[in-house]
Amino acid sequence: MNTSHTEISTAELTYTAFAGGLRVAGGPLADVAQILAALGAQEAPILVFNDATGGLVDTPPSPEQAQTLAARVPAVSPAMSTPAPAPSVGRPRLGVVAREVTLLPRHWQWLSAQPGGASAALRRLVDEARRTHAERDVQRAAAERAYRFMSAIAGHEPGFEEASRALFAHDAAKFAACIGPWPQDVQAYLQTLARGAFETAGGQA
């Protein structure tokens, strides 16, 4: 595996644990595991969520398991700690990754006629699309992150379907109203996960 890219260690990721609708722990996975171990058995099931994705951790780890996992990837990648080599004469290396792209003949014909050839044209198209759709991509990612969490913990709550529709419609006011009856800790965490779903280029929606 190429380790030249920045690596995110498990120690840098954060998690949030809920017992039913109550938030009981938050922080790096090892810290969350230690807190859960200190809490002991709970009447409500313990659910642990990845703050970056809103995804549910399948099995809350024991403190020992979490520490082992956190130590598996170093906080600083060896590639990051090694001084970069001096620039060489000639065309700079761009970290290009070769992968198969399947297109129709007319697409290849058009790409080949563009300045710099097919590869350069594809890179320009991708960069332009990323700039054009950056806001929409952020909204979609935030909505999906929030939906993962609410599906796991609030699928039984009143207004769940309406809240889901409001989330993907980017309707902040209706979303807040729909989740209003839900437990306070669930609301607060959900609003944090969903914040980007309601933001526009001009600010909050």
Kindly state whether residue 87 falls inside one of the protein's structural domains.
no
- Check if the beta carbon of residue 183 is closer than 8 Å to that of residue 158: no
| 38-43 contacts, C-beta under 8 A, 24 or more apart | 43/19
Instruction: Point out the domain boundary residue: 35, 52, 72.
Output: 72
Kindly state whether residue 92 falls inside one of the protein's structural domains.
no
Kindly state whether residue 93 falls inside one of the protein's structural domains.
no
Number of domains the chain is built from:
2
List of residues 6+ apart from 28 with CB closer than 8 A = 10, 11, 12, 13, 14, 15, 70
Model pLDDT, residue 160: 96
Model pLDDT, residue 177: 95
Instruction: Point out the domain boundary residue: 54, 72, 90.
Output: 72
Of 193, 188, 135, 197, the C-alpha closest to 166 is 197
CA atoms within 13 A on the CB side of 8: 5
Q: Above pLDDT 90, what percent of the chain? A: 35
Domain that holds residue 68: 15-72
The tokens for 195 are 């914040």
Kindly state whether residue 58 falls inside one of the protein's structural domains.
yes
From CA 59, how far away is CA 31, in angstroms rounded? 15
Kindly state whether residue 4 falls inside one of the protein's structural domains.
no
- Check if the beta carbon of residue 61 is closer than 8 Å to that of residue 29: yes
Helix (H) or strand (E) holding 123: helix 117-132
Kindly state whether residue 33 falls inside one of the protein's structural domains.
yes
Q: How far apart are the first and last CA of the chain?
A: 41
Over residues 30-65, the pLDDT tens digits come to 888 888 888 877 778 889 999 999 999 876 666 665
Kindly state whether residue 149 falls inside one of the protein's structural domains.
yes
- For all residues of the chain together, what is the average pLDDT? 75
Q: Which residue has the higher pLDDT, 12 or 4?
A: 12
- Check if the beta carbon of residue 105 is closer than 8 Å to that of residue 118: no
Kindly state whether residue 45 falls inside one of the protein's structural domains.
yes
- Check if the beta carbon of residue 203 is closer than 8 Å to that of residue 187: no
- Check if the beta carbon of residue 26 is closer than 8 Å to that of residue 16: yes
Confidence (pTM): 0.62
Model pLDDT, residue 60: 63
Over residues 13-23, the pLDDT tens digits come to 899 999 989 99
- Check if the beta carbon of residue 69 is closer than 8 Å to that of residue 10: yes
